[in-house]
Amino acid sequence: VMLTGDNALVGETIGQQAHVDEVHAGLMPDEKARIMEDLEREHGPVAMVGDGVNDAPALAAATVGIAMGAAGTDVALETADVVLMGDKLDSIPYAIQLSRRAQRVVWQNIGFALTVILVLVLSAFVINLPLPLGVVGHEGSTVIVVLNGLRLLTGRTGI
């Protein structure tokens, strides 16, 4: 679904070029927000991609608001949940993939850190683990968590 404030001819032309099935043109900002709310009620979570002041209410109404940073206005950039630094729509699938990878890495790091802490605490009670050894174990796990997080920097860049 494409929501635009442009006239119907421009909206339909861009919609055809972008292979969008449903185009709503000539919309005011509050109409875009209302349509986003209707789509969310009907279909569940929705995302909105925009770059202008007129997109800010719809970005706020969407489950996930995505602002195109290169051409975006300050209002759109501040309202959005995600800001893409370029103006290419094809960076959106990469941003989704990166966010999923980040979520997996965060859960891995939480699991690893909690496991290390649990082992260190139990070791302190059961075998009277010396404090310096506990500190080394904890700091070592912190380094591993940071290195695991750095894996997210590999791969394609430039969103």
pLDDT at 118: 97
Last residue of a domain, one of 39, 68, 89: 89
> Quick check: is 78 in a domain?
yes
Q: What is the CATH number of the domain that holds 37?
A: 3.40.50.1000
Q: Are residues 63 and 140 in the same domain?
A: no
- Count how many domains the chain has: 2
% pLDDT > 90, the chain: 69
Q: Which of 41, 74, 89 is the last residue of a domain?
A: 89
Q: Which domain holds residue 38?
A: 2-89
As a three-state string, the secondary structure of 103-150 is HHHHHHHHHHHHHHHHHHHHHHHHCCCCHHHHHHHHHHHHHHHHHHHH
Q: Which pLDDT value is given to residue 1? A: 92
Among 89, 120, 140, which residue terminates a domain? 89
pLDDT of 71 reads 66
Mean pLDDT throughout 111-136?
A: 95
Question: Is the residue at 158 inside a domain?
Answer: no
β partners of residue 64 = 47
Q: How confident is the model at residue 22 (pLDDT cuts 50, 70, 90)?
A: very high
